[in-house]
Structure 1
Amino acid sequence: MEPSLDNYKLSCELLGHSMDVRAVAAGAVTPLGGQVILSGSRDKSTKLWKPSGNEYIESVTLQDHKNFISFIYYLAKEQWICTASNDATICIYKEDESLIPLLTLKGHESTVCTVAGALKPRSLISGSWDKTARVWTIGETGEVTFITLQGHEAAVWAVATLYDQSKYVTAGADKCIYYWNESGDKLRLLKGHTDCVRSLISLPANSLLSCGNDAVLRFWNEDGECVRQLNGHTNYIYAMATNAALGEHIVVSCGEDSTLRMWNVITGKELGAPILHPAISVWSVTCLQNGDIVTGCSDGIVRVFSQDPARQANKILRQAFDLAVATRKSEMNEEIGGIKKTDLPGPEALLSNGTRDGQTKMVRYPDGSVKCYSWELGKWNLVGDVTGATGGTQTSSGKKLHEGKEYDYVFSVDISDTEPPIKLPYNRGEDPWQAAQSFIHKNNLPQAYLDQVANFIVKNSENSTVVTQQTSTGYQDPFTGGSRYVPGSSNTNLGGGGNMDPFTGASSYSTTSSSSSQPKIDVNFVRSGDKHFPVTSYRTFDTCDANKVLEKMREFNNKLTLAEGKVGEELLLAVVKLADQSPELDLTSLDALMLLLKWPAGMLFPVIDVVRLAVRNEAIFSALNTSHNFLNTVLPHLSGSAANQLMVVRCLANALTHQSGRQQIETLFPKIIELVGGIRAGSPNLQIAVSTFYLNVTIAQTMGRTNPDICHAVTTGVVELFKWAKDLESCYRSVVAIGNLTTTSCGQETIAQVVSVDYVMDKLRELTNTPQGENFSKLNSAGQALLAAF
């Protein structure tokens, strides 16, 4: 049966390189029957990945080149790993013998971009940007001889050996394919490609397959006639591969259109739908003896695809891959000034010199950004980000253009007299507070600016009649500016007119009328005819989209080096399992979680997000606390970014729901209350998190031995929260917390030492007399109940 890419699914992703994976190759077969994968990157390293079950483990990293790795070839008979580089050398390693090169071949004058086995034993053929190919022969004692194949007018991108005919084939940027004899004499010229030829494959019956920048694969017969063209790719084709496991006329190809494709070169048929990758460039491809296919991409990831269901990835990893692919599809339709972003060159374009001073070049990056460079004084200098939009120009669309997107408003905000204004984009109907939050995080501004920026938006846009946050139709991640992972977010659609809590996915308070008598997050908080205090049901933060958490952790992990804490995919998956509703106590997952908690502070919020879900399980909390003393690891982040503050406070609130959590938090309470009380500004979500922590502490005090010091500290904390909190749900929970304390043995005496009930009532009257508070009857009701309690 003929293979088809329709049967191939993602098997695993190999994470370890910090930059583009420019080359992949199939290495040695292991004693257990698996096969080593070799990968080379723009980060100047070559990695060996050894099979372990259905996964691959990074076993060796080779770092002897001075510039990026452009090609890898494995000479099986000699067990040589041959790495070619932009530093104009080829390093040869003897597998399993040493991490030091057995030999370094020097002689090319520029990047060596391709290597293949040559006709004789212990020999190789290479191609270079210096317009030559070389055939190298290495003697038993290490002596090196070579012949040079000269004739191309531009870089030699591809080489191949026709063993049956004792011939070499080379191809390059001059669009030409040359045949050579063993002595280096030119025999034949093939023409047909209309752009650079990038790759060659020798096939049975002395036939040849070529591909290149013209997006066409050409099949040449023994007589040098192009008998078939294979069309399907929509951009440069960078590499091809074949393997006996697929069939002698089955070939796979990859390229700049982000796809992997499979072909029958005899029939010219494309076999199955292409596999789109979530990366701009699929630089390289190879096939394993078990039929699996390996790709290396511009996003720094090596991916393995398998048609064997037993080797295909689990549902979570495949869903995450599908989501990333869907994002890539949308990016492929984006335009900058009428030019498709996918038609722009990548960063490698900056490796070529400019032709004149003042020449400009637009370059797109893997993160989707486009930057403009100018050639000045012998180097490319960054001019800045390119702005533009899909769907027309600023004049025709009537919108403002900012960083490649259309907005109804782009305000200039003066933050400092000594700095230029900062651009603040905003669209009608968008939540002013979420737009302000995105602006603050993007520009590293103090969180205390939130209300000031939001009110600026309200005053200067058509939302001038709006005095509070509005429901938005979509959510923009305030920490990344994107619409992907939001700490604690959910895809759940909630009915009613309530605001969507971007962190819990639930609605807390609505300024509009709703068919339900109470906000959805608190339907059981207050029921008609029930007394207000004490509230004995702990409030928790439970909602989670594990796929989005995993996606964000992958994004951050890919930006790290090994020294900074980069981990393998299997550890990321192990950590995300802790976010399950009923996670298992797995020591590997806990150890992995503690490794991730050592990441830089700016990348921690998705990890702490997992922590706040994991600690709901008392056994997991106890194990983390006993083995890792994890609370002391996360508590310092209460003084950090708003994102980390939010996650840590939620973590503490969730941990209070079981005995182990309450005991440990009580032990550290002086330190914890000082840090939580030190939060004096923040978003409505942070306000709710802080008030929920205080509330859960008071619930614990009503259900066990009351500690006067804790009651006093919580009351002080609530008073401080009242000074800056504006969110009505947060204020309601704070009132309930004080109300709970009136039912304890400490009672009014402790509360009166810190705050008068008149102060609380004045605060509530201030809030409920505003338009945003007119429908919030439960806050007023709780206040009246508190007044009655005194």
Structure 2
Amino acid sequence: MEPTLDNYKISCELLGHSLDVRAVAAGGNAPGGGQLILSGSRDKSTKLWKPIGNDYIESVTLQDHKNFISYIYYLESEQWICTASNDATICIYRQEGFVPLITLKGHESTVCTLAAGLKSRSLISGSWDKTARVWTISETGDVTFVTLQGHEAAVWAVATMHTQQKYVTGGADKCIYYWNAQGEKLRLLKGHTDCVRGLVPLPANSLLSCGNDAVLRFWNEDGECVRELSGHTNYIYAMARNQALGEHIVVSCGEDSTLRMWNVITGDELGAPILHPAISVWSVACLQNGDIVTGCSDGVVRVFSQEPTRQAAETLRRAFDLAVATHKSQLTEEIGGVKKTDLAGPESLLTNGTREGQTKMVRHVDGSVKCYVWELGKWSLVGDVTGATGGTQANSGKKLHEGKEYDYVFNVDISDTEPPIKLPYNRGEDPWQAAQQFIHRNNLPQAYLDQVANFIVKNSENPPAAVTQTTTGYQDPFTGGSRYVPGSSNSSVRGSGNMDPFTGASSYSTANSNTQSSVDVNFVRGSDKHFPVSTYRTFDTCDANKVLEKMKEFNNKLTSAEGKVGDEVLLAVIRLTDKSPELEPTALEALMMLLKWPASMLFPVLDILRLAVRHEAVFSLLHNSHNFLNGVLPHLDGTAANQLMVCRCLANALTHTVGRQQIEAQLPQIIELVSCIRAGSPNLQIAIATFYLNLTISQTLGAARPDVCHVTTSGIVELLKWAKDLEAWYRSMQAIGNLTTTQCGQETIAQIVSVDYVMDKLRELTNTPQDENFTKVNLVGQALLAVF
């Protein structure tokens, strides 16, 4: 009788990972019988699960990678557990070991797939760096490797054809290649219309492949695609042979939440798919007893069995069925026009908020949607999101907009060719804050702020008292002082939540608010163009008095030997913050003197430097006389405040020819230092993103240099692996968009699409509304995906 997936029921659920389970594998024999299950997660850990009766318990957790686990392979001949990671390394453990036997280094980006090599003690790996490597480890621990180079994008799948003594690789370039042991290309198979994600060798030298085109392809020994297996409705991430059921029985899983079983000879799907209560079923493995293991985006490892004695008790089966039914209903259920399945799950609460007061809707396993707010360093439950769907002004007393209730939802006409834009507002809310959020959401010029705020005041019957703001309670994170608005000594801030450490000004504004030319036309509603960007972004705002006060405070703590100077030196330096500073040699000499202060006291000096280097003449003198870049670049490895100021210096210096020449001359070193920054405030994230954006502007305005485009793209990818701020994401996406328009564009596109995390995040940001600054990120993300 033909096996069928209909006979499989949930056996157990293994809970322990805090984030997506990206990889599962079947290990060696457990001491008491049965096989180990191995799982790897985005939480950077690998877990070994030991069978106890019909269940499994966590026996070992391995935590030697610096980033998420992307693949696990058990090398049977050596009893090695091999883990591949986003940190570009492969760790190899003995089955009973707790630390790596050896760590393989050499790939330049994520290692995303592994398989046994043709020889003993050998492996083949595939990477986002477009190469595969065949590693051989001697008995003495010496490592040699052969590089398989020829793919034009990430190598996502590898396999070994032992009877033919060949290797097979599949990649994001939609190609499948055959290679000999010397790394020479033998054959090309083409047929997939999207990225190849999995390869499984089959009897008679045949091959099965799958990919993002949602199709499995069966290739015969001659390299002909003789059969296509269709059924999945979204990306297929992984496949595994279930040899306990037959040589040609294969299971597959993917982004459509399903596990499926196939007879690859007949092309039949065997039974109904098993729907999971998670969006992504990332990985699948089969045990010797025929049981099937899956790893999912909800952080759960699940085991399914066709053997009744190994199937779960009725309680767990009912719970699983309920979770599946809830997930199925969520595929079409909406809240305020947003699909429940597009909302983040509970795992999103493990990620810190980007600002105090940020709110987030979270979809729970039981189908409920709850609202959380980020306050005092943690996510706090606000309550259930109820009554949003179908609500009206008549039955709720509120206006509904994007699933939330407001006292007012105004229609604002800003274009004769487009429908009005919705402006939501609640009584008691600061009109200028609401206006600023509206401007950011809809990519409008900053000059509209007062006009929009006054519109709210007039039309909401807001009492005058609600319009007044004070700065009570605010302290600048570096100076300890109150907020400052350029051009006024007593004005209150009406900006967004990302505040400049000295000025308190919004980090979204890149020039003086009273100059219309500072508004990038690409932000204006009615234009679909988010890139290329041709206007350099600068960090201009500063309260010179507060900077001077801070320098005096630090200066008084120093001795003469440590660099204490007279007040006249500080006054000379502060003049460099002027919009058009005079080229005073004494001021420049004084600035270089202060740059020798202790690192812990340096940030106000660096803040003056980032204003001074906006001017080409000042930059030229500083570089020619003092080669100051070599003095400040090491501070990229220093305190958060110094990192922020140096990144702003670099961004500002790129706005003129001399600055670009000197920075591009040291670009690999600079980007290597910047890429080592893996955490920081929204201000720092925006500063780094602005540096990259300005770099790409220089490439679009002149003849693009391939070396600059390549290293800049690599730097942007590293930033996007940890950045959370939406403005930083927006500027990074604009930078990528700029590069796609250059002569190096195809290379840039290939670099980006080969990075799973960035592409996954792009898709997430173009589908999941997160906060009020989401819209422009959504739009530029959609534009980028269209290019890719």
TM range (shorter): 0.3 to 0.5
Given the two structures, how large is their TM-score scaled by the length of structure 1?
A: 0.46
Which structure has the larger Rg?
1
- TM-score normalised by the chain length of structure 2: 0.46
